[in-house]
Amino acid sequence: MLDALWRSVRPPFNRLFPPLALASLGAVLAGCEAALDLNAVARQAEQSTQRTDFYQAMASNAEITLLVGNQGVVISSLDNGQQWQRQQLPTDMSLIDLDVCPDGSFIALSFDNQLWYADALAETWTAHALPSSEQMMAATCAPDGSWWAAGAFSTLQSSADQGQSWDEVSLDEDAIFTTLQFINAEQAIVSGEYGLRFITHDGGRNWEPSGSLPDEFYPHASHYLSLEQGWVGGLNGFIWYTGDAGETWHRQPTGTEAPVFGFIDGPQGLYAVGENATVLQLRGQHWTSLPTPEQPLYLRAGRLLPNQHLLAAGGRGLLLNIALPKALAASTD
């Protein structure tokens, strides 16, 4: 009955759109369709940074700054981030960590457990397979030039001959190490999930527990000034500070719930970067947010520039050059 009622009140389709009108409408619609500008597509593809880039780590020597990310992308700058050049490594895996060695060369860790080595100008890259099937999550170059990687099942791998041979050790914890930092040639700290924290006093030959992170905290980033003094950051905007080698920790207010993904240190002070383009500056015992564009994108890496600016990078090709306020001495009392 409802169908019959609808047919009784609905005008025929050809009365709503007579054939001539339909033909005219088709012509109008065809005329409105813009031609695909392939030149614009090609120009965009030639840009050094892309919206499809997800940057993960940054490192620099005296000449060049490198930034690495997903699908083997490497961009480099010789002028502190004013201009960038793009490289594509022969891999579609993400580059998840990057460090500079004492001689100015670079190492980068890719998600398929390859450690990539580049000369000081990053002109050539060579891949070295890591020996373990455990997923590695962090890589660093020690003060003596040896290469180090840390990751799943509390595994540590090192090479003293630029990847020709490797030593491997597990600390027998079913946990992922996420951060690794050498304080000097003999001292280093590794930390990971479930609050794990180990230190070495002999260049990595032996490791021992040294305190633990509070509440089995999962650290996304850490920064240490010494074996005793340092910060870790992670989810919910939490940043914890220790001044006694991890025996006690103090949560420093950040005023944000954005996850913290990285620390940046230099003469201008200590900074942290995270989700939603968050940039924090340490002032005394608390962190203050710096003004940044409102972006639902993460920042994960950066460096402090000589001109009192901070260069930070993250998701969707996000690159920020931020003017810094006058640095304040960080109190740790």
Give yes or no for residue 32 having a pLDDT over 80.
no
The total number of structural domains that make up the chain:
1
182 lies in a domain? yes
* The token pair that represents 183 in the structure block: 């304080």
**3 state DSSP class of 275:** coil
Lowest average pLDDT, out of 6-20, 167-181, 264-278, goes to: 6-20
If you average pLDDT over every residue of the chain, what do you get? 87
* The token pair that represents 297 in the structure block: 């994108």
The closest alpha carbon to 71, from 320, 319, 317, belongs to 317
Residue range(s) defining the domain that contains residue 316? 49-323
56 lies in a domain? yes
Average pLDDT, integer, range 306-314: 94
328 lies in a domain? no
Rounded CA separation 321/269 (Å): 16
**DSSP for 209-278, written as a single string:** E----GGG---SEEEESSSS-EEEE-GGG-EEEESSTTSS-EEPP-S--SPEEEEEEETTEEEEEETTTE
pTM: 0.83
The closest alpha carbon to 258, from 299, 223, 219, belongs to 299
14 lies in a domain? no
Q: What is the largest CA-CA distance in the chain?
A: 92
Neighbour tally for 203: CB within 10 Å: 18
28 lies in a domain? no
Give the helix ranges, DSSP H, for the chain: 2-9, 13-16, 19-32, 38-45
160 lies in a domain? yes
- Type of residue numbered 264: I
5 lies in a domain? no
- Residue 150, beta-bridge partner list: 138, 156
Phi, psi values for residue 302, rounded to 5° = 180, 180
9 lies in a domain? no
Lowest average pLDDT, out of 1-15, 29-43, 142-156, 312-326, goes to: 1-15
Rounded CA separation 263/239 (Å): 10
Rounded CA separation 142/99 (Å): 10
Rounded CA separation 30/305 (Å): 53
Look up the CATH number of the domain holding residue 183.
2.130.10.10
Contact 242, 249 (CB under 8 A): yes
Q: What is the pLDDT of residues 126-182, one digit of tens each?
A: 999 999 889 999 999 999 999 999 999 999 999 999 999 999 999 999 999 999 999
Q: What is the pLDDT of residues 71-110, one digit of tens each?
A: 999 999 999 999 999 999 999 999 999 999 999 999 999 9
Contact 272, 312 (CB under 8 A): no
Q: So what's the pLDDT on residue 132?
A: 83
